[in-house]
Amino acid sequence: MEKRIEKKISVRQGKEVRLDKYLLGLGLGLSRSKIQKLISNNGVLINGKPAKPHHIVHSGEILSIKYEQKKPVEIEPENIPVDIVYEDNELLVVNKASGMVVHPARGNFHGTLVNALLYHTSRGLAESDDYTKPGVVHRIDKETSGLLVFAKTERVHSELARQVQDRIMKRIYLLLVWGVLPTDKGIIEAPIGRNTLDRKKMKVTPFASRKAVTHFRVIERFNIATYIRAQLETGRTHQIRVHFSHMGYPVIGDPNYDGRRLSVLVDIGKHHKDKFDLILKKLKRQALHATSLSFYHPHKKKTMAFYAPLPNDIKEVLQILHKNCIQ
């Protein structure tokens, strides 16, 4: 079906935003490549004239878009247990279990966190231009556990999305990586883009990539692993997993970024294979948990912070490390 949008552009003063990036942030349900193609085909007008791909948007400009959108598939509420940490009339905070997808996508319209929340929240979730993502402000990977915030109203959704973009929302993760990090704290700044050899994966690359920054601090070291606290400055797909794997310290248990490969033993020592096997037997996913989330509540006019303790599977790995792998 054909969809038309016309709106007055609003951007923060002094901030330069390219048109394709601005459109991506509107949640049209289109990929970056489809947005760029739409612009090239004169499907995007600025003040009534066809826009150029690298146009820098300015407040007050009139944006007009015409594009084809597939007929939405109805997302069904499903009675799936979910850990709601906080809820009010405007938003809710959830501690997502590992193994659950955040929102529906192609071929996967059941069993997601959105399906569960639509059942458990009587007021529903904020509508989105991408019908598969009602209320979704930010995401974490299927096998990553931890905290997420969802919006119930469009006004709050817009405000929380702005906080993510402006780095006001704070997201802190706990993770275990293979190997012993030599520095107590640091910043990983390496651009991330799609892996051209496997489109489901990301990689550090200067080509067709976006800026990605991760701050980290070592909590504890073991003779084969390091326990780390990481904070996202940006929120790229698989960012923490890609950054630490690129540094040579893959997240323990990560099936996509070397966290389960025997090649890890080259760095930690082949004589540690029994501990390597024991840990991976206990942990069926990557040892990554979104433990802390804070943001400014647009309705209550105050900063709110939430904490989710480590889930049992990562706790068990820590116990193994404390028992068998103290330096």
What is the DSSP code string of 17-54? Answer: -BHHHHHHHTT-S--HHHHHHHHHTT-EEETTEEPPTT
> Do both 319 and 180 map to the same domain?
yes
Residue 52 lies in a domain: yes
Q: Which two tokens stand for residue 290?
A: 């979104």
Assess whether 197 and 286 both reside in one domain.
yes
Number of domains in the chain: 3
Is the residue at 192 inside a domain? yes
Q: Which domain holds residue 60?
A: 2-68
Residue 57 covered by a domain: yes
The predicted-structure confidence for 205-245, as pLDDT tens digits, reads as follows 999 899 999 999 999 999 999 999 999 999 999 999 999 99
Ranges in the chain, pLDDT < 70: 1, 14, 27, 29, 31, 69-73, 129, 327
**Is 73 among the domain residues?**
no
In this prediction, residue 238 carries a pLDDT of 97
Instruction: For residues 102 and 36, state if they share a domain.
Output: no
Which distant-in-sequence residues (6+ apart) come within 8 Å of 106 by Cβ? Answer: none
Residue numbers annotated as active site: 141
**Nearest alpha-carbon partner for 141 in 201, 190, 85, 225:** 201
CATH code, 118: 3.30.2350.10
Same domain (yes/no): 134, 186? no
Please identify, among 136, 166, 196, the residue that sits at the C-terminal boundary of a domain. Answer: 166
User: Could you give the CA distance from residue 37 to residue 185 in angstroms, rounded to a whole number?
Assistant: 42
Instruction: Examine residue 16 and state whether it is found in any structural domain, yes or no.
Output: yes
Interatomic CA distance for residues 53 and 38, integer angstroms: 9
Helix (H) or strand (E) holding 239: helix 239-246
Residues 157, 23 share a domain: no
How far apart CA 242 and CA 255 sit, in angstroms, is 12
Stated length of the chain: 327
Residue 145 in any domain: the answer is yes
Domain end residue (candidates: 166, 196, 228): 166
- Report d(CA 240, CA 112) in Å as an integer: 23
Domain boundary among 16, 45, 68: 68
CA–CA separation, 133 and 23 (whole Å): 16
- Beta strands (DSSP E) in 165-322 are 170-178, 185-189, 192-194, 202-204, 209-210, 213-221, 225-232, 288-297, 302-307
Query: Rounded to an integer, what distance in angstroms lies between the CA atom of residue 19 and that of residue 21?
Result: 5
Q: What is the pLDDT of residues 294-323, one digit of tens each?
A: 999 999 999 999 999 999 999 999 999 999
pLDDT attached to residue 139: 94
21 with 35, same domain: the answer is yes
Helix (H) or strand (E) holding 265: helix 264-268
Residues 46, 88, single domain; the answer is no
Helix (H) or strand (E) holding 8: strand 2-8
For residue 226, which of 236, 234, 216, 235 has the smallest C-alpha distance? 216
